Structure 1
Amino acid sequence: MIDMDGPLDFESEDPLLSSSTPKKKRRKVIGLDDLLTDYYKEKSRLVERESKRAKASKCYNSDEDDDVSKETAFFETIDECQQQMKEISSEDEISYWGMQVFGNQKTPPPVTFPELRSCEILNSFMNNELNSSVEFRAERGEAFLEGLIINGWLSKLVFMCGHVEKSIAMWTFNLMLYSSKEELRTSACDFWCSILSKTEVDLPFAKIDWFPSYSDLKRALEIYGFLPNFSSNRELMNTDSDTGGPPQNIRAWMKFMAICCQVRSKHSIFSTSEAEELIEVVICLFLDRQLQGLSMLFYECMLSVISCFTEKEWHYSCEKVAKSLACRVPQDLNCLRIVECISGVNTRSKCLRSAVAFQILVNCLDNKVTDAEEILKFLISINVKDRSCDLFKMYIYLVLTENWLYSNPLLEDKPMINEMWSLYLRNCSCQITNTDLRTYASKVRNKASYLLQGTVKG
């Protein structure tokens, strides 16, 4: 019989179909002991793996530790060098010159003058036939005069009249020193300069009913906020206030004062003591960094004030001004700035420069020595190689001595002074080495070396 449920002939020949059915595996029962055994084996493998990793990292970290230790030693060496340099240095910072010369400004006086309505110039214009066509009113007199002074016609009119009325003089003076309008104050300054220059060259000119005095100029400085005792205000002023800092009218003030000094020989505008005070004011203005743009104007004004003295007055006034400036200026780079600003090739400028440098140097030495030879002996005795030596002061001494001697005939009259000066320069240039890291060491050495090359051989 044929088995209907059995495989076909070709199916029995197929190896896949003819393979026997896999036998079912017998499951093994896992007990608690087996689990513990597997756990401890796995833990043992982890411990062994961590041990091998620790050995490897130990070998690596030994090299890394060497690098870290070298780096630490390097930075420690740098810190030690920096600490030594700080100990060697006499100053942490290099100072700069600059003083607060102007403080807060006061309220200026009014520039309007009701008296202008009755001045002759306006009255003559009102009585003129042309007035009927322009219908000029006295109430507009000041505005009319402002137009005349801006266009330069006011000076021509007073020259024609040969007379400057008091109201016109006072009004233009206040415009010059207190007006906030640049055009008006500049025109008023030009008006006064033209009048005084005409007077100076003796051109036909009658009289001025009112002339400003020194007290009027000094009062203007007080309104500008000028600080006479500026030595106690060493910080430069940084203020956003409209009433602080240098005034805009200082330019006109300087120009007017300069022209007044030029005519002093013919008109007693300033006394000798007032002229001396003016020199100090002008020189002190050089210390304000906010006024550096006016340095040329200050220089010209200084020359005008110096030239207004007679020969007899100048002999005493030069020393008096030098002593006063030496007491006012601090003993830092500001005193060098003062000396450098007293420049010029004329005899009086050199005399004042030398006198101021000498008086400041005497003050820096606490007035212990006042004779030329004694001062140079003291300077030569200073041991610049000593680490406790203040080279900043040495630099101050060096520059002051240079300006004192080079503008003074002592070098020509006393050869001993020249020899002592050369010895002092050799000490400063040779005893300070190139490797000296103290503050101002290089400045003192280079300055002395440069001056030594120009000394006159004895």
Structure 2
Amino acid sequence: MLLDDPLDFEKEDPLLPKGRPAKRKKVIGLDDLLEDFFASGKDELKASGVESKHGSKGYNSDDEDKKVREKEIKFRKFVEEYEEQSKELDAGDDVPQWGQRVFGCQKSPSIPSATGVENCQLLQSFSAHEHLGFDLNIEQGEGFLEGLLVDGWLLKLVLLHGSVEDSIASWALTKLLYSCNKKFRVAASDFWDNVLSLNEADKLSVDIGHFPSYSVLKSAILNYGYIFDNRTEVSTSESVIADDGPPQNIIEWLKIISTCCKIRNVHSIFSSSEAEELLVIVISLFLDRQLEGLLLILGDCLSSLILYFNSSEWESSCLTVAQSISQRVTMDLNCLRIVDCITGTDYRSKFLRSQLALQFLKISFGLKVANAEKILKSLTSINVKDKECNFFCLTILFHPGPEQGFLSSARCGLEKICWRC
């Protein structure tokens, strides 16, 4: 080998190709072709630039593509027409959300300045011990009782003594209903819950002569701003929120009603008519969006009121309650909200739901009959193909609820309507 001769590895082919590879053609997707086609409408120009891959199989691909394009054009026109029609329907059928104004402006309660609590035997017993240094007067007497109430000693002394003085009971109830201090009203609520509890013998734990009356509870809810009998002030929208917000004592108000209802077998605090009005108030509270966080407390109070009535009173009282509520609630989604809020599975809850649905249907369809069978006959005569048919009212019949009573019969009636059509 000569020194100037190339080496062996220098004779090998170079690793890199001498020339650049040919550029790949840009892949045109089907979506791009469709967009260009519908944008310009010139199918001949688009079709001329695309060569069919199926030309060698013996059929005319141009005719097949033309049929597909015609179907696409028809489908697109159908979608555009449907969209225009749906926009017109949406503009005319604007259904408001559920929600009614239940509380207005709150009022200042008229609480008497002299409660007489300074003369109660409990304070007198403390003032009799001179070594305690307790100077009895109105301000110090109430302040001393407030400390006993919050610390739980007032309840222990009452249970030890076995009775509750009327002045202390009235004073604790006032703290429960009107106190701005959360500690005082919560402590007063616990005090009343224990005082009205039953022992193992199904009797009250202590002797008490002053019970919470309907007049006191009604006066309290009116002071909270509750719109009791004025339907003209009730409006439906999200913007109707009470100026002062939800009452801060409404939780304790609901709890004291539940407690009073649970001792019906021992002491009947409310009459049947008073319990009916309280039931109407509690059901109407479900329409206030500000109270959605209190659904458990509202449900417990509702169940207690439903079970408060005797068996002989329930059917007539239920009809009265349903008629009263139907006159207060507007005929929109609030109707379904009211029926839906009664979630009990017992017979009384199912019967109340049925009566509410019955009253709403009578008002919605303008029926003047009181019998469920006659209402069903009127409903089966409805022509659902008519453009004037109110399908919103018919949705009340489909509302899930009791398997007994009017709603179940109404669903059977609707099946007849659908089969006829």
After TM superposition, the score normalised by the length of structure 2 is 0.73
Provide closer, same or farther for how the CA distance between residues 373 and 269 of structure 1 changes in structure 2, counting only shifts above 3 A: closer
Change (3 A) 1:334 1:87: same
Structure 1 position 390, deviation (Å): 3.5
Who is 1:434 aligned against? none
Could you list the per-position Cα deviations for residues 78-106 of structure 1 after superposition, in whole angstroms to 9, with x for gaps in the alignment? 99765533444583423211000000000
**What's the offset of the Cα at 1:395?**
2.4
Residue 318 of structure 2: aligned partner: 318
Residues 1:107 and 2:100 aligned together: no
Q: 1:397 to 1:205 in 2, by over 3 A?
A: closer
CA–CA separation in structure 2 for the residues paired with 1:348 and 1:226: 27
Query: In structure 2, how many angstroms separate the alpha carbons of the residues matched to 1:81 and 1:361?
Result: 33
Q: 2:415 aligns with which of 402, 422, 438?
A: 422
SS at match of 2:304: helix
- Report if aligned partners of 2:203, 2:266 keep a CA contact under 8 Å in 1: no
Q: Does 1:84 align with 2:85?
A: yes
- Is residue 2:405 matched to residue 1:408? yes
CA distance in 1, matches of 2:154, 2:170: 14
The Cα shift of 1:215 comes to 0.6
Q: CA deviation at 1:120?
A: 1.4
Q: Any idea what the Cα deviations from partners look like across 1:327-350, whole Å, max 9, x if unmatched?
A: 221111101111111121111111
| C-alpha contact (below 8 Å) 1:86/1:92 kept by paired residues | no
Aligned residue identity for 2:277: E
Contact 2:222 2:228 in 1 (8 A): no
Aligned to 2:30: none
What is the CA-CA distance between 1:117 and the residue it aligns to?
A: 2.4
Distance 1:290 1:425, change over 3 A: farther
Counterpart contact for 1:231–1:328, Cα < 8 Å: yes
CA contact (8 A) 1:279 1:302 kept: yes
Aligned pair in 2 of structure 1 residues 88, 98: CA closer, same or farther (>3 Å)?
closer
2:286 — aligned with what?
286
Shift of 1:112: 6.1
2:149 maps to 1:149: yes
Q: Which moved more, 1:231-240 or 1:161-170?
A: 231-240
Q: Where does residue 226 of structure 1 map in the other structure?
A: 226
Identity %: 42
- Aligned-partner residue type, residue 205 of structure 1: V
Once residues 225 and 205 of structure 2 are traced to their aligned partners in structure 1, the CA distance between those partners, rounded to angstroms, is 39
Looking at structure 2, the residues matched to 326 and 118 of structure 1 have their Cα atoms a distance apart, in angstroms, of: 49
Task: Decide whether aligned partners of structure 1 residues 234 and 195 sit closer, same or farther in structure 2, where only a CA change above 3 A counts.
Answer: same
Classify 1:260/1:295 alpha carbon distance in 2 versus 1 (closer, same or farther; 3 Å). same
Query: Equivalents in 2 of 1:311, 1:245: separation in Å?
Result: 38
- Give 1:222-371 correspondences, 5 Å limit: 222-229=222-229, 231-232=231-232, 233-236=234-237, 238=239, 244-371=244-371
* Pair 1:128-2:144 in alignment: no
Partner of 1:44: none
Q: Secondary structure at the match of 1:406?
A: coil
Letter in 2 for 1:380: T
Cα deviation digits, residues 251-299 of structure 1 (max 9, x gap) = 0011101111111232231111001111111111011010011111111
SS of residue matched to 2:389: coil
Matches within 5 A, 1:5-44: none
Asked whether the equivalents of residues 96 and 333 of structure 1 are also in contact (C-alpha less than 8 Å), the reply is yes
> Is the CA contact 1:353–1:407 (under 8 Å) kept in the aligned structure 2?
no
Q: Is the 8 A contact 1:111 1:178 kept in 2?
A: no
The offset of 1:358, in angstroms, is: 1.2
1: CA distance between counterparts of 2:412 and 2:188?
Answer: 56
Aligned-partner Cα distance in 2 for 1:380–1:90 = 30
Distance 2:419 2:130 in 1: 84
Give ranges in structure 2 of 5+ residues lacking alignment: 1-38, 42-76
- Kindly state the Cα deviation for residue 174 of structure 1 after the two structures are TM-superposed: 0.9
Other structure's SS at 2:94 match: coil
What amino acid is aligned across from residue 218 of structure 1 in structure 2?
Answer: K
Q: Distance in 1 between matches of 2:143 and 2:185?
A: 14
Once residues 184 and 145 of structure 2 are traced to their aligned partners in structure 1, the CA distance between those partners, rounded to angstroms, is 11
CA distance in 1 between counterparts of 2:184 and 2:259 reads: 19
Task: State the distance in 2 between where 1:372 and 1:304 align.
Answer: 28
CA contact (8 A) 1:97 1:333 kept: yes
Contact 1:198 1:205 in 2 (8 A): no
Once the two structures are TM-superposed, the CA of residue 164 in structure 1 deviates from its matched residue by 1.9
Map Cα deviations across residues 353-382 of structure 1 (whole Å, 9 max, x no partner): 111111211221112454434433433343
Per-residue CA shift, 1:188-225, capped at 9, x if unaligned?
111111111147932553333x3332111100011000
Q: CA deviation at 1:319?
A: 1.6
Preserved contact between residue 177 and residue 249 of structure 2 (Cα < 8 Å): yes
Q: Is this contact kept in 2: 1:246–1:290, CA < 8 A?
A: yes
Distance 1:152 1:237, change over 3 A: farther
Q: Distance in 2 between matches of 1:249 and 1:111?
A: 19
**Whole-angstrom distance in 1 between the partners of 2:91 and 2:366:** 21
Q: Distance in 1 between matches of 2:97 and 2:164?
A: 48
Alignment partners' CA distance in 2, 1:92 and 1:280: 31
**For 1:240 and 1:231, how far apart are their aligned partners in 2?**
16
Residues in 2 aligned to 1:372 and 1:140: alpha-carbon distance in whole angstroms: 63
Q: Deviation of residue 110 (structure 1)?
A: 4.3
Give 1 or 2: higher helix fraction: 1
When residues 217 and 419 of structure 1 are mapped into structure 2, their CA distance, relative to the original with a 3 A threshold, is closer
Q: Does 1:117 align with 2:118?
A: yes
Q: Which amino acid aligns with 1:118?
A: N
Structure 2: how far apart are the matches of 1:357 and 1:410?
A: 7
